[in-house]
Amino acid sequence: MKKPVPIEYAELGTALQEVFLTREELLARVGELGRQISIDYAGKAPILVGALKGVMCFMADLVRSITIPLEVDFMAISSYSSEERDKGVVRVIKDLDLPITDRHVIFVEDVIDTGLTLNYLLRSLRARAPASLEVCALLNKSTRRLMDIPLRYKGFDLPDFFVVGYGLDYAERYRNLPFIGILKPGVLFSRGQPGN
């Protein structure tokens, strides 16, 4: 059943067709992921690594649902041009602050779409010889996948449509929505250059 956009989002939500995942649905699933990570990584003090900015809300809720000691670090990457994207090239604007050699690393990602971004970043992290490297993604769009991504923790499978909110943007807007929404058809001009 279609979930309507709450009335208080009259200004921000005009381009939204409907709510895809409510705040409650997101928090419930993120809580489950956090409990599982707390069990799997007991005694390992993992480092959770995220790529800004799309992961901001997911990371904030995920770390607060994990009950074991952990550290958090972020990379910043730039949106790519369509040519760079086809080559799977990602520009790293800010690298990690923490060394990850011999550490248990969990890469936390908002959406995996083609997998090109994550594939590039995972290669770069693997080269630093972490003790282990796993991926935790909130949303998995497998229909457009080009690279094989090892996905240890997954929030939700997502059909091939563009979603915003809970950190995810369209042209830098909508990151502050507490839910994930679907844009109305026709709002999206180009699939080539989503923000990060």
Residues that bind Mg ion (CB under 5 A): 54, 110
Task: Name, in order, each residue with C-beta under 8 angstroms of 121's C-beta and a sequence gap of 6 or more.
Answer: 51, 75, 77, 90, 92, 107
Residues 6+ apart with CB under 8 A from 12: 173, 174, 176, 177
| Contact pick of 17, 114, 124, 142 for ligand IMP (by CB under 6 A) | 114
Q: Report the nearest approach of ligand IMP to the CB of residue 23 (Å).
A: 17
Which residue's Cβ lies closest to Mg ion? Answer: 54
25-64: which residues touch ligand IMP (CB under 6 A)? Answer: 54
Q: Residue 168, interface with ligand IMP (CB under 6 A)?
A: yes
* Cα(118)–Cα(137) distance, integer angstroms: 10
Residue 127: alpha-carbon gap to chain centroid: 22
Q: Which stretch binds ligand IMP (CB under 6 A): 3-11, 35-43, 67-75, 115-123?
A: 115-123
| Active-site annotation holds for 148 | no
Do 190 and 80 form a contact (C-beta atoms < 8 A)?
no
Binding footprint of ligand IMP on the chain (CB under 6 A): 54, 109-118, 162-164, 168, 194, 196
